[in-house]
């Protein structure tokens, strides 16, 4: 497994990874119709329609965007910006193999190199044990937030000091 920078050509595969992972692990409480809605542009991740592909390419844009790759396949993605880990997804059949931890470590190293001393994340409730394991702590109680379509999605604010 290796971590590398995102390239524009990765967008369709990253879109499919986020769509499938979010649907299975973060939206399992919802029926299919609501899942589609909460997925926003990612509900069309398996479509070849150029407008769908462009919407995903556009939502993925991030100042810091890293890919985990194994056996020539994209198995994880982390989006971030200064001080903020914006999102992290690892392919379901690769969970618990250290890929999420490796992506977070890479992001932390890049952040430290940019002079960042603290990170925050709006963690999905599913991911709280993971973020706790990699050193984040809850900064408040759970909060109402927004899913990819801009509507309600509960999350847990967490933060970590970088040394
Ligand atoms: C959260 C996520 C990114 C973790 O990725 P991962 O590659 O499976 O995580 P790692 O293998 O690096 O796990 C590191 C440690 O975190 C903890 N951990 C990870 N997943 C866990 C889980 N489901 N339950 C409890 N602890 C967990 C463990 O301590 C693990 O170490 P161990 O396997 O040696 O016990 C992955 O589960 C995922 O994509 N979830 C769905 C999307 C999501 O909720 N993303 C967060 C968006 S903010």
pLDDT at 65: 98
Encoded tokens for 22: 């979010």
Burial class (CB in 10 A: 0-12, 13-18, 19+), 132: middle
Q: Show the beta-strand stretches assigned E in the chain.
A: 2-5, 64-70, 73-81, 84-90, 118-123, 137-138, 143-146, 152-161
Domains of the chain: 2-161 (3.40.630.30)
The atom number, within ligand 1, closest to the CA of 91 reads 39
pLDDT at 152: 80
Q: With a 6 A CB cut-off, is 123 part of the ligand 1 pocket?
A: yes
Residue nearest to atom 1 of ligand 1 (CA): 127
Q: Are 4 and 14 in contact (CB under 8 A)?
A: no
Q: Are 66 and 103 in contact (CB under 8 A)?
A: yes
Distance 102 CA to ligand 1 centre (A): 11
Nearest to 104 by CA among 117, 91, 84: 84
Q: Is the pTM of this model over 0.95?
A: yes
pLDDT at 49: 96
Q: With a 6 A CB cut-off, is 126 part of the ligand 1 pocket?
A: yes
Helix (H) or strand (E) holding 50: helix 50-60
Q: How far apart are CA 142 and CA 21, in angstroms?
A: 22
Other CB atoms within a 10 A radius of the CB of residue 12 amount to 17
Encoded tokens for 114: 């940019």
Residue nearest to atom 25 of ligand 1 (CA): 129
pLDDT at 161: 98
Provide the residue-wise pLDDT of the chain in tens; the chain has 163 residues. Answer: 999 999 999 999 999 999 999 999 999 999 999 999 999 999 999 999 999 999 999 999 999 999 999 999 999 999 999 999 999 999 999 999 999 999 999 999 999 999 999 999 999 999 999 999 999 999 999 999 888 887 888 999 999 999 8
pLDDT at 57: 96
pLDDT at 151: 81
Query: How far, rounded to the nearest angstrom, does the alpha carbon of residue 61 sit from its chain's CA centroid?
Result: 12
Residue nearest to atom 32 of ligand 1 (CA): 96
pLDDT at 104: 98
């Amino acid at each position: 497994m290796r971590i590398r920078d995102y390239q524009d050509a990765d967008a369709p595969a990253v879109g499919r990874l986020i769509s499938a992972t979010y649907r299975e692990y973060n939206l399992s409480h919802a029926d299919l119709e609501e899942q589609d809605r909460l997925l926003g542009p990612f509900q069309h991740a398996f479509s070849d329609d150029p407008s769908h592909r462009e919407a995903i390419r556009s939502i993925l844009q991030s100042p810091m965007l890293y890919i985990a790759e194994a056996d020539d396949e994209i198995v994880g993605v982390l989006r971030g910006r200064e001080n903020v880990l914006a999102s992290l997804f690892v392919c379901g059949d690769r969970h618990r193999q250290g890929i999420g931890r490796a992506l977070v470590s890479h992001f932390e190293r890049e952040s430290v190199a940019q002079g960042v001393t603290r990170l925050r994340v709006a963690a999905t409730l599913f991911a709280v044990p993971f973020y706790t394991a990699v050193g984040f702590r809850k900064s408040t109680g759970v909060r109402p937030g927004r899913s990819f379509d801009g509507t309600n999605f509960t999350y847990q604010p967490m933060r970590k000091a970088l040394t």
